[in-house]
Amino acid sequence: MNYLAHTLLSGKNEALIVGNFLADILRKNEYGPWMEPYLLGVDLHRAIDHFTDDHPSIKRINAILRPSHRKYAPVVTDILLDYILGQAWHMHSSESIQGFADLRYETIRMHLPVFPDRIKPIVAKMIDGNFLIKYTTIEGLMFTFEKIQEAARFPSDFSQAVEDLENYYDTLYLEFNHFFPDLVEHTQSYRINASKL
């Protein structure tokens, strides 16, 4: 799962949202006492990733995508699942998707002053680019896969990813709907614990 799913699964607790977000962009040497309020969010992020990697539906999606994307099939899966979540958004949230994103951007901005200096401009640029919504449009997917292709160190055809989405959409959507409720249930304890802090 990528940013949109991670953020949705954080619920409305600010520290959980921010910690889950930071888990992907911080370096290990940037952790310190300032991170204490956000550690449950980091744990949630890791729990999401581990559960996702091990779920039978995700393994089936990776198998579908592996002929085109080989080593990078899980990367493509993560991004495409955010697209599918965006298409099924009304099933998982009563907020509009842009309204949801705007509130989370505001939450991240409020905590930005305590972030390490290295990531402050990165985070600001991400927010300016509406990063939570980026993977929910075909145009955003195409842009993202072009950038990943430029940086790839191993063989893959990221230009095929959108075509794969179109060719296998019904199967991917079905697998997502098997998987995502399980993930919501698996991560519920983190949201409950955060509400008690």
Condensed to tens digits (0 to 9), the pLDDT of residues 103-114 reads 999 999 999 999
pLDDT at 30: 92
E-assigned strand segments in the chain = none
Q: What is the pLDDT of residue 190?
A: 84
Give the pair of three-digit tokens for residue 66: 């592996």
| 77: Cα within 13 Å, side-chain hemisphere | 26
Per-residue model confidence as pLDDT tens digits over 59-79 = 999 999 999 898 899 999 999
Instruction: Quickly state the pLDDT bin for 42 (edges 50, 70, 90).
Output: very high
pLDDT of 192 > 90? The answer is no
pLDDT of residue 150: 79
H/E run at residue 58: helix 56-69
Band (197; pLDDT cuts 50, 70, 90): low
Angstrom distance (rounded) from CA 142 to CA 163: 10
Residue 146 is predicted with a pLDDT of 87
Mean pLDDT of 96-119: 97
The rounded distance, in Å, linking the Cα atoms of 65 and 71 is: 10
- Rounded to an integer, what distance in angstroms lies between the CA atom of residue 190 and that of residue 16? 8
Q: What are phi and psi of 81, to 5 degrees?
A: -65, -35
b/e 49-87 (16+ beta carbons within 10 angstroms → b):
eebbeebebbebbbebbeebbeebbbbbbbbbbbbbbbe
User: What is the value of pTM for the model shown?
Assistant: 0.91
Tally Cβ neighbours within 10 Å of residue 183.
21
Banded model confidence at residue 155, pLDDT cuts 50, 70, 90: low
Q: What pLDDT is recorded for position 151?
A: 76
Q: How many residues does the chain have?
A: 197
User: Distance between CA atoms of 29 and 116, rounded to whole angstroms?
Assistant: 10
Distance (Å, rounded) from C-alpha 106 to C-alpha 176? 29
Tens-place pLDDT, residues 120-149: 999 999 999 999 999 999 999 999 998 888
Q: Are 40 and 194 in contact (CB under 8 A)?
A: yes
Q: What value does the mean pLDDT take over residues 42-68?
A: 96
Tokens found for residue 145: 């896969």
